[in-house]
Structure 1
Amino acid sequence: MNTMYNTIFINGQAFNCYIDMSLKELLHYLELELDSIVVEHNNHIIHSIEFDKTFFKSQDKIEIITIVGGG
């Protein structure tokens, strides 16, 4: 079986993902709470309704910021 991968960068760290993996699938794989993060894909903020429509090319850059509440 010949599986294809893209190497992308998540918060500056290289990460190999399946070539057909969506942003939403990636975030679930990383076990992130979708309601408490902000995602930037190649310098553009991605709205959560676009997570399942966003796919990667090799060398794409993803920045994930976790929102923490407190009082």
Structure 2
Amino acid sequence: MKIIVNGEPRELPDGASVAQAVAAVTTAASGVAAALNDEVVRRSAWEATELREADRLEVLTAVQGG
């Protein structure tokens, strides 16, 4: 299935979860947030939240700077 991740089309297997999509984008273990179709998805729900064709997922990673 095709979804949009951070504005870019991405092919994922049918039934993929938010957790799988996030793992495809970043290896960061913390400081990551995800929003599916403009709704924040709590980290505890990533595994259980299934993606559908044409969903829009934004994956944000906290960056420290100075």
Q: Please indicate, yes or no, whether the TM-score normalized by the shorter chain is above 0.5.
A: yes
Larger radius of gyration: 1
Name stretches of at least 5 consecutive residues in structure 2 with no aligned partner.
Answer: none
Q: TM-score, normalised by structure 2?
A: 0.85
Name stretches of at least 5 consecutive residues in structure 1 with no aligned partner.
Answer: 1-5
Distance in 2, matches of 1:51 and 1:22, equals 7
Size of the alignment, in residue pairs?
66
Identity %: 18
Q: In the alignment, what sits opposite 1:3?
A: none
Q: In the alignment, what sits opposite 1:40?
A: 35
> Structure 1 residues 41 and 34, CA, compared in 2 at 3 Å: closer, same or farther?
farther
Distance in 2, matches of 1:31 and 1:49, equals 17
